[in-house]
Structure 1
């Protein structure tokens, strides 16, 4: 009986996890499973009918974004979890100071209490601590890390702002940018923003843009030459990030190239970045740094990417977001 219950739990887990977007096809061998007239997954045992219940996750990507809001002196976060207590690590990101910009974490931290925390930019991160020139330009970006009271890292995020007091939170690139669908004449630059916005990508003297305001941006870059390196700049809310890509060789090319291969980046032992909620970000970042140093044409990653095994799609998306942050430029 125990084995049957365990199997039933696993079966319902699989279908509930995949049932958030569309009804999943049920093989005929699962004769007791079906969808009722309301589209709800049910399992019948004799005269008894069991209904699948969607689990509510304690953590999720939507919560970790923190609903940041500008204040008179900085930024306030509300993670929407009254039982979340821990630490917020934060620091400015200088996008013009490095090929691979990262937060320079400030010596002070924020105490997360009942899911809320504030950052004082005006009084604590000005003067000699203003490494990005926000006092002069009125713009800046902060990178942050959320850790629970046990010290486990849950999420790495970004938030852009403008003003010198009061402050206003701007639409922010929170995932990417990534280079996709590389051909000899084109690529697609993709990224995600915290709010709908029309973004632009500049390559040389040419500018490409979204057709409409959106949070998921996929901007085709066309008219390129084969096997050539290009610099590109993503512009969102008055802030810019600049990186580079290389187009694919022309069809039939026999020019040698190098690629990297890796797999299984689920969280590891040892704490810190080895377990950023479902992802061994420490190793993934090392792999990507080595790939960049060796100038590989591409990285083939076969999985597993994340720990997985969660009933909530929002919690799964949190793990995927942590993986994507680890491979970002």
Structure 2
């Protein structure tokens, strides 16, 4: 049996983002040397990103580069300077609703930026590229739980379309150039240091400030909420396992989820219980680009990594609330 080990030198794009920060932290704890790149844009409060970076204790094992993946010359210089064993690409313009009014940012970051990453990985013969996709690629898929083999050619937001495009671009590079690539379809990742634009963060902030929260689709949406530690453990195991070698093309996509979707109404109830206050709810219709349900089938991930998510929504929300109270005093 082959023993799995973590690579010594890893590039993480989007290292100051929510998932990127947690992955860097774990890699550093495990002894890897990490180079992180992040644009530090103002999509949400940049101070949160700087505080994440500060907690990584930038030292001999962590190097931070401030810059954009859209800057091909900067990326090329990084790849020339460091012999990366693995590239984990997490940098992207996130958010479904933001894509309705700012489409250009998604084309530049998610399409042009990813093309630059692929080219650098190809030209420098990177042994393994892992990249972030999203559960949004499933659109309003009606056959739950969602399998990686399902058709995903009807995205209902530009964000989802760019993520599906990333999967197709990576497949092409794997086919043409034998670039080993692993896609990760993340299902609503949450937890400490999370993104302020996501429901858990914004709802917590509003409830504590006695402000109303907008409950979309009257609370009837369902989400497969995935705690950050489960997400990172899945990623670590995929990194250690290495690229897929089962066929002639070194390419694979995995769902990264929890496999236990709950309704938005249930989610708010758990949140209210942990905060100790009731939310002021404003019920509104489903927004353009939002899907009705997400539900990850994890057979592939469990089979190939041996890992099954452990953290319940009750445990995860409590950990977030504890962090939020501490961070904001």
* More contact order relative to length (CA 8 Å, sep ≥ 6): 2
Q: TM-score, normalised by structure 2?
A: 0.28
For the pair shown, the structure with the greater C-alpha radius of gyration is: 1
Q: TM-score, normalised by structure 1?
A: 0.28
Q: Which has the higher strand share?
A: 1
